[in-house]
Amino acid sequence: MSVIFDRVALIGLGLIAGSMAHAMREGGLAREITGFARSAATRDTAREIGLCDRVCDSVTDAVTDADLIVLAVPVGAMGDVAARIAPHLKPGAIITDVGSVKQDVIDTVGPHLPAHVHFIPGHPLAGTEHSGPKAGFASLFRNRWWLLTPLPDTDPDALDRLNRLLVAMGAKTDRMEAGHHDLVLAVTSHAPHLIAYTMVGVADHLRRVTDEEVIQYSAAGFRDFTRIAASDPTMWRDVFLHNREATLDILGRFTEELFMLQRAIRMGDGQQLHDYFTRTRAIRRGIIDAGQDTDAPDFGRTPGARGS
Amino acid sequence: MSVIFDRVALIGLGLIAGSMAHAMREGGLAREITGFARSAATRDTAREIGLCDRVCDSVTDAVTDADLIVLAVPVGAMGDVAARIAPHLKPGAIITDVGSVKQDVIDTVGPHLPAHVHFIPGHPLAGTEHSGPKAGFASLFRNRWWLLTPLPDTDPDALDRLNRLLVAMGAKTDRMEAGHHDLVLAVTSHAPHLIAYTMVGVADHLRRVTDEEVIQYSAAGFRDFTRIAASDPTMWRDVFLHNREATLDILGRFTEELFMLQRAIRMGDGQQLHDYFTRTRAIRRGIIDAGQDTDAPDFGRTPGARGS
């Protein structure tokens, strides 16, 4: 037991908040965990499974006297939640969020918050294709990155305290500028998700191939795509709408590149295809090499990054 | 021990042939396994690890007196191999292949073969991102589909015998018309692979994002893509060149669909995105449901398919 926060309020009770509740309890990191979800059904489920110490019927109750408030709602809902809780925040409280987009959250949440609280945006790079209050589990963040995008004037003590919680839940943390975060994630997560959704949609439309065939003969490639494409629709709608510029930029590059390869197939240019596939194979090797390094204390630090 | 073939010749000693060797030995399914690979280094490695009973320096030696010959080379090399082995095939021998494309293999291999052998094209839907003689393992085919695309005049006894071998190695088998196979695989495997290769290539080109960031912060989406994009470059070059029409057809549909979603992002049409993602999620559910059914004896049979 090493309590880091007296009272933690989880707003939104999905996969991430649920996993935080499990992880904080396992580590004895919070004295009390309150929770709120907009949907009464979600609140009922959370109560049934005892997800939090107290599930509140109003977001105001949930955040009152909380030392840490975690906004774990879809990115598009963050601004409204911030406006509603702002008058009820305890001086010195830390507010963080777990949204997959950071600049938009800063723009929509920041202006609502009083000067006497610490807003530290964050993003755990962890998840599964499941969602809802029952989807969480304590080890979700173990050895996964949790990126923080603090504003320039962030209080170092508040940042350190939040950071200690994340590390105690098993996460590796790093800090990044919000706009840069959004570009990195557009490449590594947002565009790949849209592409996976698209490919699964194409399969669904192809009437000459039966659904049974698509499903039964889904080899590695497509099976992985369907897993990605099963992620929460509301969360991902908001990601794309709120990281629009970076996502469209990456998708534009992607289609240029795809057209080049399509042309190589059409023209029978085997050398170009082979060269391309050889290059992409090397990138995978880099990921595996990086993965093998996880035990090393300096793993994952971009030169110059202030790893925590 | 239940020997199905006296002598099996594996031509090409990569992941698939190596896994067949392990699986056949584990089950005692062949009295002798011979092997040949074009590269002397591959033959040396195969000898070192004792992959086959006999690794031959000439493809002619490998196939002489074989009851079953398995062509496990890239699709683009199948025709040449067939031409070289044709004069040395024992009457009544069964020739199969493991290529990911079937009509092209039938067109290039078939004409070389003498009338006194049985040619039964096949395709195991199994693999990993690794390749080479050391990549194989006995359980690769366990509970995976092995599609056969026999020609209309195929000898039923030969088909049954090959089928028994595949089932004994753990595979589930099904039969399909070659052209239809190529379309189904274009949707479920070939187009997804090209898309994964492309996305990994885009990440590599994006200089504002460092390689370290792409690698370290590769969330689920991108990480799955890189695994797919690490597959053998020669094999995949040949797949695309030899299943050209179906692959280009699917890629055309894919880009139409992607442009529609890109436009929805640009226009801020959240409803369209949400609807689309909800539909793709249902497809994933179908795969999971199908997976839960694997124990049922009729799993995976398209109505009317002659499952074996």
pLDDT in tens, B256-280: 999 999 999 999 999 999 999 998 8
pLDDT top residue among A224 and B82: B82
Assign a CATH topology to domain A180-292. Answer: 6-phosphogluconate dehydrogenase C-terminal fold (1.10.3660)
pLDDT at B304: 31
Give the DSSP letter string of B109-133: HGGGS-TTSEEEEEEE----S--ST
Q: Would you place residue B170 in the very low, low, confident or very high pLDDT band (cuts 50, 70, 90)? A: very high
In this predicted model, what pLDDT tens digit does every residue of B70-126 receive, in sequence order? 999 999 999 999 999 999 999 999 999 999 999 999 999 999 999 999 999 999 998
pLDDT at A216: 77
Residues B48-55 have a mean pLDDT of 97
Residue B228 confidence (pLDDT) above 80: no
Residues of B in contact with A125 (CB under 8 A): 217, 219
User: What are the boundaries of each domain within chain B?
Assistant: 5-176, 180-268
* CA A266 to chain centroid: 39
In whole angstroms, give the CA distance from residue A127 to residue A168. Answer: 18
Residue B171 confidence (pLDDT) above 90: yes
In this predicted model, what pLDDT tens digit does every residue of A245-294 receive, in sequence order? 999 999 999 999 999 999 999 999 999 999 999 988 887 777 666 653 33
| Mean of per-residue pLDDT scores for chain A | 89
Q: Tell which CATH classification among 3.40.50.300, 3.40.50.720, 3.40.50.2000, 3.40.1670.10 matches the domain A5-176.
A: 3.40.50.720
Q: Tokens at residue A274, please?
A: 């082979």
Whether the ipTM is more than 0.90: the answer is: no
pLDDT at B157: 97
In whole angstroms, give the CA distance from residue B117 to residue B94. Answer: 6
What is the three-class DSSP state of B299?
Answer: coil
Count of residues making up chain A: 308
pLDDT top residue among B303 and B142: B142
pLDDT top residue among A252 and B222: A252
In whole angstroms, give the CA distance from residue B256 to residue A162. Answer: 45
For the four alpha carbons of A242, A245, A250 and A251, in that order, the dihedral sign comes to positive
Q: Would you place residue A232 in the very low, low, confident or very high pLDDT band (cuts 50, 70, 90)? A: confident
pLDDT at B107: 98
| Mean of per-residue pLDDT scores for chain B | 89
Residue B219 confidence (pLDDT) above 70: no
pLDDT at A239: 96
How near does any CA of chain A get to the CA of B225, in Å?
8
Q: Do A226 and B287 touch (CB under 8 A)?
A: yes
**B180-268: CATH superfamily:** 6-phosphogluconate dehydrogenase C-terminal like domain (1.10.3660.10)
Residues of B in contact with A274 (CB under 8 A): 233-234, 237
In whole angstroms, give the CA distance from residue A122 to residue B36. Answer: 55
pLDDT at B216: 77
Residue B62 confidence (pLDDT) above 90: yes
Measuring CA to CA, how many Å separate A244 from each of A72, A239, B156? 20, 8, 58
pLDDT at B229: 79
CA angle A121, A123, A126 (to 5 degrees): 160
- Which residues lie across from A97 on neighbouring strands? A71, A121
Q: Would you place residue A241 in the very low, low, confident or very high pLDDT band (cuts 50, 70, 90)? A: very high
Residues of B in contact with A188 (CB under 8 A): 203, 213-214, 217-219, 221-222
Residue B135 confidence (pLDDT) above 60: yes
pLDDT at A308: 31
Residues B23-29 have a mean pLDDT of 97
Residues of B in contact with A16 (CB under 8 A): none
Residues B174-182 have a mean pLDDT of 95
Q: Do B221 and A266 touch (CB under 8 A)?
A: no
pLDDT at B290: 62
pLDDT at A191: 92
In B221-250, the residues whose Cβ lies within 8 Å of chain A are: 221-231, 233-234, 236-238, 240-241, 244, 247-248, 250
Residues of B in contact with A257 (CB under 8 A): 198, 201-202, 205
Percent of chain A past pLDDT 90, that is, above it, reads 74
Residues B127-134 have a mean pLDDT of 87
Q: Would you place residue A208 in the very low, low, confident or very high pLDDT band (cuts 50, 70, 90)? A: low
Percent of chain B past pLDDT 70, that is, above it, reads 90
Residue A86 confidence (pLDDT) above 50: yes
